[in-house]
Amino acid sequence: EAGVAQSPRYKIIEKRQSVAFWCNPISGHATLYWYQQILGQGPKLLIQFQNNGVVDDSQLPKDRFSAERLKGVDSTLKIQPAKLEDSAVYLCASSLIGGRAFDEQFFGPGTRLTVL
């Protein structure tokens, strides 16, 4: 089966510009996660969707970050305006939610953002 797709793979922007990242999860996966991975750190959850509803966005900087998953399939994460500290790899992951106690999360290749 196809994995989690993300685009673009790399993006370089100037501070105060806006940027958007796209994620297409594995077919049939109801849960989608966006993680931010700053250099030298482990990934940190930004937002979690189940179908097209937000489950957890407590760590999303809502003054500049937004995300949507309108049809419960693919998702877009936007930053506007970007700051230098937003330089990171943005990882998308997806998992089934079928009532089992454990559902593995599958990760995409990530988008590496550099803010100059």
Partner 1 sequence: AQTVTQSQPEMSVQEAETVTLSCTYDTSESDYYLFWYKQPPSRQMILVIRQEAYKQQNATENRFSVNFQKAAKSFSLKISDSQLGDAAMYFCAYRRPSGNTPLVFGKGTRLSVIA
Question: What is the contact surface with partner 1 in residues (CB under 8 A)?
Answer: 3-4, 30-31, 33, 35, 40-45, 48, 50, 55-56, 91, 95, 97-105, 107-110
CB 43 within 8 A of CB 110: no
Considering the complex, state which of residue 50 and residue 76 has its C-beta at the smaller distance from partner 1: 50
Residue 102 CB, nearest approach to partner 1 (Å): 6
Residue 40 CB, nearest approach to partner 1 (Å): 7
Residue 64 CB, nearest approach to partner 1 (Å): 21
| Torsion sign, CA atoms 45, 112, 38, 114 | negative
Q: Six-digit token pair at 48? A: 């979690």
CB 45 within 8 A of CB 59: yes
